[in-house]
Amino acid sequence: MGERVRKDALFDGFADVAKALANGRRAELVDVLAQGERHVEELAEEIGQSVANTSFHLRTLAGAGLVVTRREKNRIYYRLASHRVIDLWSAVRDVAAAHHAELDALAAAYLGRRDQLDQLSRVELADRLAAGDVVVVDVRPPAEYAAGHIAGARSIPADRLARELRTLPENVEIVAYCRGPYCLLADEAVRLLRRRGRTARRLEDGFPEWRHANLPVQSLPIQQRAHVNCETNA
């Protein structure tokens, strides 16, 4: 009997981690935190929830060991506990894409048709960057770019791309990227660029996958990140 109880407790422990992700808002929090650490007010705005609800979801993730915190003055910042959490989130997405009967329809309803949206792999983009014949644009929010981005990428958030299009060189292919394979920002950027007559594609996944593949990344110094965060929250 004692062995059964101990085995049940072990597998319940495994299930606790799975249950922490068994909510769409918590899964979205993991997706956002894969870009870098954020404080609760930023996260609440990202997932469209109140600060109280967001704090509850973050406590659930922390209780399962998926996120950790640090305090800076009066703010608490959250980040993923390790790259293994990104692996877990990627595995959940991959299994859902392979076996969830309705996922394709759900993705299409959110992202729109992608059959005319050319994508390129991380390996191909790394080769193109090395050759210097492509412009890479990070269309995520500035704070995420500051925390980490593909080496050589320019930061032009999606909501500023139309205004700043003239700053991009002509007759050069543009590659846009954002948070991952189900991020709408890069799709919208590529569609806008093509409507304006530019040659454009999107990276097939996003920055977390690029970084996890040990491809070249850069980040802004801590002082500049703080300045970017202040501007973003103003």
Domain boundary among 85, 103, 137: 85
**Per-residue model confidence (pLDDT) at position 138:** 98
Please give the Cα distance from 53 to 70 (Å, whole number).
Answer: 20
Catalytic residue among 178, 185, 186, 203: 178
Instruction: Give the C-alpha separation, 98 to 57, whole Å.
Output: 27
Which three-class secondary structure state does DSSP give residue 154? strand
pLDDT of the residue at 220: 77
Of 171, 17, 8, 179, nearest to 92 by C-alpha is: 17
Dist. CA 118–CA 109, nearest whole Å? 19
Same domain, 7 and 45: yes
Residues 81 and 116 in one domain: no
Q: Which two tokens stand for residue 205?
A: 């996944």
* Residue spans of alpha helices (H) in 82-221: 83-99, 103-111, 122-131, 142-147, 161-164, 184-195, 207-212
Residue 91 lies in a domain: no
> What pLDDT, on the 0 to 100 scale, is given for residue 190?
96
Report yes or no on 92 lying in a domain: no
State the total domains in the chain: 2
pLDDT at 227 (0 to 100): 47
Q: What is the CATH number of the domain that holds 220?
A: 3.40.250.10
Beta strands at 149-150 and 134-138: parallel, antiparallel or unpaired: unpaired
**48 and 138 both lie in a single domain:** no
40 occurs within a structural domain = yes
Spans of the chain, pLDDT less than 50: 227, 229-231, 233-234
* Chosen domain end from 38, 67, 85: 85
Residue 230 designated active-site: no
Q: Are 146 and 233 in contact (CB under 8 A)?
A: no
- The answer to whether residues 22 and 125 belong to one domain is no
Which CATH number goes with the domain that contains 24? 1.10.10.10
Query: Residue 195: its pLDDT value, please?
Result: 95
Q: Do 66 and 171 lie in a common domain?
A: no
pLDDT at residue 115, rounded to an integer: 80
Does 127 map to a domain? yes
Give residue 47's domain range: 2-85
Establish if 99 belongs to a structural domain: no
Q: Would 123 be classed as within a structural domain?
A: yes
Last residue of a domain, one of 34, 67, 85: 85
